[in-house]
Structure 1
Amino acid sequence: MRGTTSRVTTRRVRAALGAAVAVCAVTAALPGAAWAGPAGASGTAGTATVGVERISVAPDGTQGNGGSGAASITPDGRRVVFSSAARNLTPDGAAGNEAVFVRDQQTALTKRMGTYTPLQPPAISGNGAYVGYSLQWINDVRIRQYQVSSGGTASANCSAYSCDQPSLNGDGRYTALALLMRKPAPTNRQRVEVHDWNTGGVVTVASFEHTYPARPSISGDGRYVAYQDGAAKDVFVWDRTTGTSTGPVEGPATTASLLQLSDDGGTVVYLSGSDTHVRDLRSGTTLTVPGVKGLAIDPTGRHLLYAPDGTGGPSLVLRDLETGTDQVVSDRPATAGIDAVSTGGRDVVFQSAADDIVPGDTNGTSDVFVRHLF
């Protein structure tokens, strides 16, 4: 990628492959099964065409009662995870509180993932088989991970700590998360960890003496984890193979906040000032996209979803970083989160309360949409 090269230093962090940490252990295994189950809602399946499609719909494919939380889409564009307080997205209904749903666009099946209210937008594995989100559990915050096909669950039992900010790898085996002390402590107040749901192993990626957000983002194979030191406003990338963190990737003279790591772990996107920066970790070059707020990248790191600066124009735009060309995703007020773009920039998932994006939108609330660009 085009841009300037910034100086990179290496900091060694404490890492122990396969080491089990007692304060944040896996409490259940997730079985393997095919996509099926009674808690689903099937609409009319069809082949996606260029245009926009509402995802938060009722079982018969008609208007649902909305979807409010930031949504994520799998790299193949087949499955979308989002949160909603709607009662009519599945036959069994919702309890009226915010819940997490997965929509399979190939089968037009929507399933609810538990009855808990997510504290943050839910995450989905690259293959669409697992969903994870943080939830309040008495005095703690835990990560609950669901197998979409069977509804089987596993959770991170954090005891005196709270687990938050999950990021799932491609097959759902590894989850990167932030572990926070429930009460102030003089040291180790926050850790970034990677949990192996198959073996129960836990690896410590980094430790901080503060509780500013770390926002980890894991690569598809689980080898790399990008995270931020929220106090210093620096972004780092950890490598499981070497047990080291490289960075700050933005250089020593600039502050940054992490946006997302690409699926192959080779590209990291961060925000700094009023600009978005795309760092190629292999070549050491940085491409700057000035005056825009980056929201997500596709799994290859080539396509950037961003919100233009100012008002009066489109709210969401997708840029091909190799050609520099833009495509409008939404010209109505809209928002999007990380993992909102499928591979190659084919599909983009977003939320909007506008009532004229699709015909018949009369529910008066926010909905989840997917823009099929080609």
Structure 2
Amino acid sequence: MRTVLSAATVAVFTVTAVPPGAAAAQTGATGVRVTGVERISVATDGTQANGHSVDASITPDGHRVVFTSSAGNLIPGGTTAARRVYLRDRQAGQTTRLGTEEPLKPPGISGDGGFVGYPVQWMRGEMIRLHRISTGASIGHSCTAYNCEMSVGADGLRLAYSVRFRPPEPNQRIEVIDWASNNTYTIDIIHNTQPSRPSLSDDAYHLAYQDGGEQDVFVWDRTNGTPAGPIEGPARAATLVQLSDDGSKVVYLSGPDTFVYDTGSGTTQSVPNVRGVAIDPTGRYLLHAPSGTAGPSSLTLRDLQTGTDETVSAQPASAGIDAVSAGGRDVVFQSEAEDIVPGDTNGRTDVFLRSFH
């Protein structure tokens, strides 16, 4: 599909400033977007968590959020203080626990909200536990190694994960499993001992991944079965952030800047002096933090078409990939701040949702 991938830089955005902490209205791409915030890490009856809650991901429609928590009071009769995976259904106002195993990595939720997956310890390696929300049933799929990194497709029937072998074996591979067709596709990463997290498009036909050893980012096209890249060019070290759900954009970091690669045109958009955190499913809205920060900081949502910024959190906060719903309507993040919503007295890290409508 693409034989040569370019990293040509295009014009830099001009940013429309938004007052920090604005809670009533902000100027967005189509005029004024009203903003609100809610706490996600609560029990069904609204009880605040008595443990730390982190690692949130949201569905493209914004209806479901999955996160991990060490709270023991998010479900009736819950007593464990170990980390577990929870699902918050915003439409139903319900919080449920998914399984009884401790997740080794942040959970991922399918685009349709029907499946949640995460790696767990299994014998001498790791296994991916995939939960079907509608029935409560789950299946396990062995990674055959350790330090698995995974990405879930739109309907949960397609899954990508990295396989990292134990030293002294230097090689890795990424596998894309398609339970619908009963096929598995393998991408070998030679002489690489660094983690290589995959990022899978909703249709599972595109996959972005990083060769951690070479610090290069590649895009794999299922139609021809070969990876293309590095997309950042030979003279730049890069770190993968995320492939948008529609497969149109790849976000990566290089130096103090963020870059957004267009898989269709092969062009690259430069977003200087920010650290990209996540991108919405359509590839238009970029969640970012100040460049040079690694821990909690302010979070901002940028419209890549207009260059306008909207404040997600003026207080120190952090977020992961899949933190933004389609159209930049909702953003999930975690923060220890106690003044984001009224009545936050638990003294714990909570998961919040900022909405723009």
Q: State the TM-score bracket (shorter-chain normalisation).
A: 0.7 to 0.9
Equivalent of residue 240 in structure 1, options 213, 219, 222:
222
What is the 5 A alignment of 1:99-114? 99-114=84-99
What 5-or-longer segments of structure 2 have no aligned partner?
9-33
Question: Does 2:331 match 1:330?
Answer: no
1:297 aligns with 2:297: no
2:192: which partner in 1? 210
The alignment status of 1:196 with 2:178, answered yes or no, reads yes
Residues 249, 5 of structure 1: CA spacing in aligned structure 2 closer, same or farther, 3 A cutoff?
Answer: closer
- Residues 200-248 of structure 1 show CA distances to partners (whole Å, capped at 9, x for unaligned) of 4321023322221111000010111100100100000001111111110
2:38 maps to amino acid: E
- 247, 252, 257: which is aligned to 1:270? 252
Q: 2:299 aligns with which of 304, 313, 316?
A: 316
CA distance in 2, matches of 1:137, 1:348: 33
1:135 to 2:120 alignment: yes
Distance change >3 Å, CA 66–CA 247, structure 1 → 2: same
**8 Å CA contact 1:81, 1:102 repeated in 2:** yes
Aligned equivalents of 1:317, 1:182: Cα separation in 2 = 39
The separation in 1 between residues aligned to 2:291 and 2:343, in whole angstroms, is: 31
Partners of 1:232 and 1:183 lie apart in 2 by: 18
- Residue equivalent to 2:57: 72
Shift of residue 320 of structure 1? 0.2
Would the aligned equivalents of 1:276 and 1:293 in 2 still touch at CA under 8 Å?
A: yes
Shift of 1:149: 1.8
Aligned-partner Cα distance in 1 for 2:178–2:77: 32
**Match for residue 346 of structure 1?**
329
Amino acid at match of 1:126: G
For the aligned residue pairs, the C-alpha RMSD in angstroms reads 1.9
For residues 22-66 of structure 1, give each alpha carbon's deviation from its aligned partner in whole angstroms, at most 9, with x where no partner exists.
xxxxxxxxxxxxxxxxxxxxxxxxxxx831000011221232224
What does the per-residue CA deviation read over 1:119-144, in whole Å, with 9 as the maximum and x for residues that have no partner? 11110000110001111123211111
Aligned to 1:170: 154
Cα deviation 1:89-145 (Å, max 9, x = unaligned): 111315220000111100011111111111111100001100011111232111111
Secondary structure at 1:164 match in 2: coil
TM-score relative to the length of structure 2: 0.87
| Residue 263 of structure 1, CA deviation | 1.4
Asked whether the 8 Å contact 1:163–1:177 carries over to 2, the reply is: no
Partner SS for 1:263: coil
Indicate whether 1:284 and 2:257 are aligned: no
Residue identity matched to 2:199: S
Q: Does 1:6 align with 2:7?
A: yes
Equivalent-residue separation in structure 1 for 2:354 and 2:323 (angstroms): 10
Quote the Cα distance in structure 1 between the aligned partners of 2:52 and 2:90.
16
Partners of 1:206 and 1:219 in 2: CA distance:
19
Cα distance in structure 2, aligned partners of 1:309 and 1:182: 34
CA contact (8 A) 2:60 2:326 kept: yes
Q: Percent identity?
A: 56
Q: Is the 8 A contact 2:47 2:74 kept in 1?
A: no
Paired residue type of 1:344 = G
Q: Partner letter of residue 171 of structure 1? A: D
The SS at the match of 1:90 is coil
Deviation at 1:321, TM superposition (A): 0.5
Q: Tell me how far apart the structure 2 counterparts of residues 227 and 200 of structure 1 sit (CA, whole Å).
A: 23
Letter in 2 for 1:255: A
Quote the Cα distance in structure 1 between the aligned partners of 2:177 and 2:210. Answer: 18
Q: Name the counterpart of 2:16.
A: none
Contact preservation (8 Å) 2:41, 2:53: no
Counterpart pick for 1:369 among 334, 352, 357: 352
Partners of 1:51 and 1:66 lie apart in 2 by 24
Name 1:11's counterpart in structure 2: none
Pick closer, same or farther for the CA change 1:209–1:156 going to 2, 3 Å.
farther
Q: Quick one: which amino acid aligns to residue 50 of structure 2?
A: N
TM-score between both structures, scaled by the size of structure 1: 0.83
Quote the Cα distance in structure 1 between the aligned partners of 2:211 and 2:291: 26
Which sits farther off after the overlay, 278-287 or 328-337?
A: 278-287
1:156 matched to 2:141: yes
Q: Does the Cα contact within 8 Å between 1:143 and 1:163 map onto a contact in 2?
A: no
Deviations 1:273-292 (A, max 9, x none): 11100011211211111111
